[in-house]
Structure 1
């Protein structure tokens, strides 16, 4: 399935392709503050409909994940990283997707504080 998504103001727009069967929440210092629900998919399944330069980037700690956010409205629609296998992966903030019933999705709690 293809999902449409964006930041709040619409400057960052994208499509994400895959089966959304659950979400991940994380208790690390940034995720606990953002409150995002993440869905991990291969990077080639994220199709930006706006310019990549429209998103600002924030990294911290080991600088492994590029947290993408809108410099206009401040929303964090996705983050990017290379996983342990060397594959490019994105974490879509499913709260930025259209027409998704968040309450119906099972949520896995990841202990990012211990990483």
Structure 2
């Protein structure tokens, strides 16, 4: 299993995440479209913050089931938190915030979040 390093733009929020990035999701909901995130879903236990959680800001909207986490200094969104359909805690990591990723090599699946 590979451990990836990531951060926001200014470096205030840093993290490690374990797993193999085999695909990403591009969602067209009102927030994801504006952020331009490419999301990789992992169990929340695979994501380890190097930054105190209190250093992050959080935003929810619509059904308030996803915590969109972002850096209050630079505004970059490194990940979100929610639950999988089976109830397990999940993280949606923005792979654009992971170091050394060849984004062109990652297959991207498109999700119609506007319709949900």
TM-score of the two chains, using structure 2 as the length reference:
0.98
Counterpart of 1:72 in structure 2 is 73
Equivalent in the alignment of 1:7: 8
Q: Distance in 1 between matches of 2:92 and 2:51?
A: 18
Look up the match of 1:35.
36
Give the aligned partner of residue 55 of structure 2.
Answer: 54
Query: What SS does the corresponding residue of 1:30 show, helix, strand or coil?
Result: helix
Spell out structure 1 runs of 4+ moving beyond 2 A: none
* Cross-structure match for 1:45: 46
CA positional deviation for 1:26: 0.3
SS of the counterpart of 1:24? strand
Give, in whole Å, the separation in 2 of the partners of 1:59 and 1:91: 14
Matched, 1:112 2:113: yes
Structure 1: unaligned runs, 5 residues or longer: none
Alpha-carbon distance, 1:83 to partner: 1.8
Give the RMSD, CA atoms, in angstroms. Answer: 0.5
Paired position in structure 2 for 1:86:
87
Secondary structure of 1:15's counterpart equals strand
Given the two structures, how large is their TM-score scaled by the length of structure 1? Answer: 0.99
1:11 Cα shift? 0.6
Q: Deviations over 1:42-92 (max 9, x none)?
A: 000001111011110000000000000000000000000012211000000
* Structure 2 portions without partners, runs of 5+: none
Name the CA distance, whole Å, in 1 between partners of 2:82 and 2:68.
Answer: 9
